[in-house]
Amino acid sequence: MRVLVTRPQPDADATAARLAAMGHEALVDPMLVVEPVPGARLPAGRFDAVVLTSVNGARALAGRPELVGLKGLPLYTVGRRTAAAAPEGFSRVAVAGGDGAALVVLLQAELPKGARLLHIAGEERAVDLGAALAQVGIAVELFVIYRAVAALRLSDATVAALGGGGIDVALHFSPRTAATLAARATEAGLAAALARIDHLCFSRNVAAPLEAAGAPARIAAAPTEEALLDLIGR
């Protein structure tokens, strides 16, 4: 099968390699480009723990000078992939079940009232930890160090493949990449072609912008790449 991969780099190429090993052909066209936020400044004061909610945040933190002052604190991550991408030096790493709701449950269970967390994140966030934890007396300070810039157009290869019926499956890992693909396809006059391919999504939230654009989607059994790839051909 020919599979469209729209997640940002370097993850897009890693997914393409996994697809090739499965015998599929990948067409890589990232709908987001991840870049640092200029002038990002660490909030003042002490923190009781650090929270990472994305692989991109983990990668961005590894290159930040502020990391030295954060080592030795406990680290909480949204899932295993984020934990694997996080820099070393934290006193311990606690891993939630893969989504924001599971992370909130973990933080509420392990941290006392009055704790102050540093949430290292991007400009677009899937979960508002501050609002979720305020009700139990846990403060959250945001440190926004990266942003994801939407692609302005589909690549020529994607336009040709969509228009010619040359894509069988599209993989979707985030609501924003899915929404960007739907918007760019509509702008290119390819909304009907997009609706004819098999859309496989991490979660119901990821599927929502595709379904709103008239492209039916299927949801993975778990929010993991393995579960998403398991849907191909089913």
pLDDT tens column, 106-142: 999 999 999 999 999 999 887 899 999 999 999 999 9
Residue 103: what pLDDT?
96
Residue 52: what pLDDT?
97
* Neighbouring C-alpha atoms within 13 Å toward the C-beta of 217: 29
Same-domain status, 221 and 199: yes
Beta strands 25-28 and 74-77, pairing class: unpaired
* pTM recorded for the entire structure: 0.79
Residue 126: what pLDDT?
77
Same-domain status, 162 and 61: no
Same-domain status, 186 and 94: no
pLDDT digits (tens, 9 = 90+) for 158-179: 999 999 999 999 999 989 999 9
Handedness of CA 72, 76, 77, 81 (dihedral sign): positive
Mean pLDDT of the chain: 95
Same-domain status, 20 and 92: no
Q: Is 44 exposed, middle or buried (0-12, 13-18, 19+ CB in 10 A)?
A: exposed
Average pLDDT score over residue span 35-50: 96
Which of 175, 221, 176, 212 has the alpha carbon at shortest distance from 194?
Answer: 212
Same-domain status, 92 and 135: yes
- Report the domain count for the chain: 2
Select from 109, 132, 148 the last residue of a domain. Answer: 148
What CATH number does the domain containing 218 carry?
Answer: 3.40.50.10090
Whether 94 has a pLDDT exceeding 80, the answer reads yes
**Residue 32: strand, helix, or coil:** strand
Whether 104 has a pLDDT exceeding 80, the answer reads yes
Residue 224: what pLDDT?
86
**Where in the sequence is the domain holding 22, given as residue range(s)?**
2-31+151-230
Same-domain status, 223 and 157: yes
Average pLDDT score over residue span 141-154: 96
Whether 217 has a pLDDT exceeding 90, the answer reads yes
